[in-house]
Amino acid sequence: AQSVTQLDSQVPVFEEAPVELRCNYSSSVSVYLFWYVQYPNQGLQLLLKYLSGSTLVKGINGFEAEFNKSQTSFHLRKPSVHISDTAEYFCAVSGDRLNAGGTSYGKLTFGQGTILTVHP
């Protein structure tokens, strides 16, 4: 089974300060990793994804994340946050899963979310 743990449910930070949102995962198979952002009463928007290659992944809005296989982590970082970054952030893992017919459907498992609040 695969699982995702986001270590902080809420992260308050002042504008222009750096921020790190922590994500740990567990899986018995190789995984792909994602970070999504959700603004109030909206759907999820893909921030970045790790599929293979360089362990440092850059995404939209100045965010980046580092894949650490030995620590099974995929923490999200931004060097300087803005008020507009206030939102909920979800880490997700895609492991290879088979449906009843034996076909891979790439199940996405989400963490519980981290609410980032940027104060002026």
Partner 1 sequence: DGGITQSPKYLFRKEGQNVTLSCEQNLNHDAMYWYRQDPGQGLRLIYYSQIVNDFQKGDIAEGYSVSREKKESFPLTVTSAQKNPTAFYLCASSIRAGFGQPQHFGDGTRLSIL
List residues binding partner 1 (CB under 8 A): 4, 9, 32, 34, 36, 41-46, 49, 51, 90, 94-96, 99-100, 103-108, 110-113
51: left (phi over 0), alpha (psi -120 to 50) or beta: alpha
Nearest approach in angstroms of CB 40 to partner 1 is 11
Nearest approach in angstroms of CB 82 to partner 1 is 22
Nearest approach in angstroms of CB 59 to partner 1 is 11
Cα 112 to Cα 90: distance, rounded to the nearest angstrom: 7
19: left (phi over 0), alpha (psi -120 to 50) or beta: beta
Nearer to partner 1, 15 or 110 (CB): 110
